[in-house]
Structure 1
Amino acid sequence: MEAAKPALIRETFAVGPLQCNCTIIGDPLTKKAIVVDPGGDHELILQRLDALGLKVVSIIHTHAHLDHFLASGEMKKRTGASLHLHQDDQFLWDNLEMQCKLFGVPYKPVPSPDQWLRDDEALACGCGVALHTPGHTPGSMSFWFPQAKLLIAGDTLFRRGIGRTDLWGGDYGAIERSIRQRLYTLDEDATVVTGHGPETRLGDEMRENPFIRA
């Protein structure tokens, strides 16, 4: 019999002035990791990577709102990891300074993304796949890790809520399609890491989310 693969390393914690959920996903064999949405507190993220014995190779973003990128530049500078974003959010990335000014958050320059994320693209470390789930923003992405039954949904899906669609490029029809057709077709037992706030279970949202049910 083939030996079972060891479980992925996963740690999620809130960072930055708007308490974005940042997630570290690590391969237990290679010790390589991806960091999702480093929204601030780069020293804390680096400390957690060191404590877990992981080396970050890829920094991926669910979307390009300011609260999901604030530590990205410093993380890239300190680790050499590549930055990834869906191209449909380039206009938001190009206006990060404006976003920071609107919300009264100090701006630190961030380099352009190194690579554009694509729908159904395999993620670094071979442990997950990127899903294009537009609606909150045109380039919003979710990240699915089938081995771990883990869905990182960014600001697309929350515990008993959905992402707002009244910001730049938001589209309610698109977010409804993304949730129904992409997220609600995944494993009901999956844990959902949201962009802010508590985790939830996908099956619970399918049945109990007051905004969009399966």
Structure 2
Amino acid sequence: MTTQPALIRETFPVGPLQCNCTIIGDPLTKKAIVVDPGGDPELIMARLDKHGLKVVSIVHTHAHLDHFLAAGEMKKRTGATLHLHEDDRFLWDGLEMQCRMFGVPYSPVPAPDQYLRDDEELACGCGVALHTPGHTPGSMSFWFADAKLLIAGDTLFRRGIGRTDLWGGDYATIERSIKQRLYTLDEDATVITGHGPQTTLGEEMRENPFIRA
């Protein structure tokens, strides 16, 4: 019996707010998705080239500026499709306003090509999208069961949770998303957070000071 080779995965901080960008690649087809290209398109392209990957899909955990500042440039260079949950379209449309508020240079980004749905299979067939609102109305997490990997965006951090005082944020909603969607997954899973160090689901279920299982 042959075993499936492990996914290619690399996470690295990008952009002015050091958002964690993640490349997920299929080792057989060499097709890849890029999650949260928050800046530094040259760096992202170089990492893709290093792994010999072709990006086919650019997916966003949510539509705050620091998670998609390089999305337009990445789409222009690769032809990859842009994906977002529809409930965050108002934030996507307000990118210029967000940039102005945070003093970040504005680069226009085209409209999303497709809207993500809850439980939708991601490109490359390697994971699924989970709708985990609260930080924003359209916040998504991406679950790769075989790899025991969760990309949580700004929903869950190491010993923290996403702030809920920005546009459309809601504490009761993020609490429900974390308890009912994330803490029901494999507690051995590695969690890639939107910013800062990774963690595991089990650690957060037991030790997160804001929301425990």
Interval of TM-score (by shorter of Structure 1 and Structure 2)? over 0.9
1:4: how far off? 1.1
What does the per-residue CA deviation read over 1:123-171, in whole Å, with 9 as the maximum and x for residues that have no partner? Answer: 0000000000000000000000011100000000000000000000000
Instruction: Show the counterpart of 1:26.
Output: 25
What does the per-residue CA deviation read over 1:103-123, in whole Å, with 9 as the maximum and x for residues that have no partner? Answer: 000000000000000000000
Instruction: Show the counterpart of 1:79.
Output: 78
**Do structure 1's residue 154 and structure 2's residue 150 form an aligned pair?**
no
Determine helix, strand or coil for the equivalent of 2:146: helix
Compute the RMSD of aligned alpha carbons.
Answer: 0.3
With normalisation by structure 1, the TM-score equals 0.99
What does the per-residue CA deviation read over 1:150-197, in whole Å, with 9 as the maximum and x for residues that have no partner? Answer: 000000000000000000000000000000000000000000000000
**Do structure 1's residue 123 and structure 2's residue 134 form an aligned pair?**
no
List runs of 5+ in structure 2 lacking aligned partners.
none
Determine helix, strand or coil for the equivalent of 2:206: helix
Percent identity over the alignment? 85
Separation in 1, partners of 2:203, 2:73: 37
Instruction: Show the counterpart of 1:211.
Output: 210
Corresponding residue pairs, total: 213
Separation in 1, partners of 2:113, 2:55: 15
Determine helix, strand or coil for the equivalent of 2:34: strand
1:24: how far off? 0.0
Determine helix, strand or coil for the equivalent of 1:142: strand
Instruction: Show the counterpart of 2:168.
Output: 169
Instruction: Show the counterpart of 2:90.
Output: 91
Separation in 2, partners of 1:191, 1:42: 25
Instruction: Show the counterpart of 1:103.
Output: 102
Instruction: Show the counterpart of 2:63.
Output: 64
With normalisation by structure 2, the TM-score equals 1.00
Determine helix, strand or coil for the equivalent of 2:83: strand
What does the per-residue CA deviation read over 1:41-82, in whole Å, with 9 as the maximum and x for residues that have no partner? Answer: 000000000000000000000000000000000000000000
Moved over 2 A (4+): none
Separation in 2, partners of 1:164, 1:78: 33
1:3: how far off? 1.3
Instruction: Show the counterpart of 1:5.
Output: 4
Determine helix, strand or coil for the equivalent of 1:164: coil
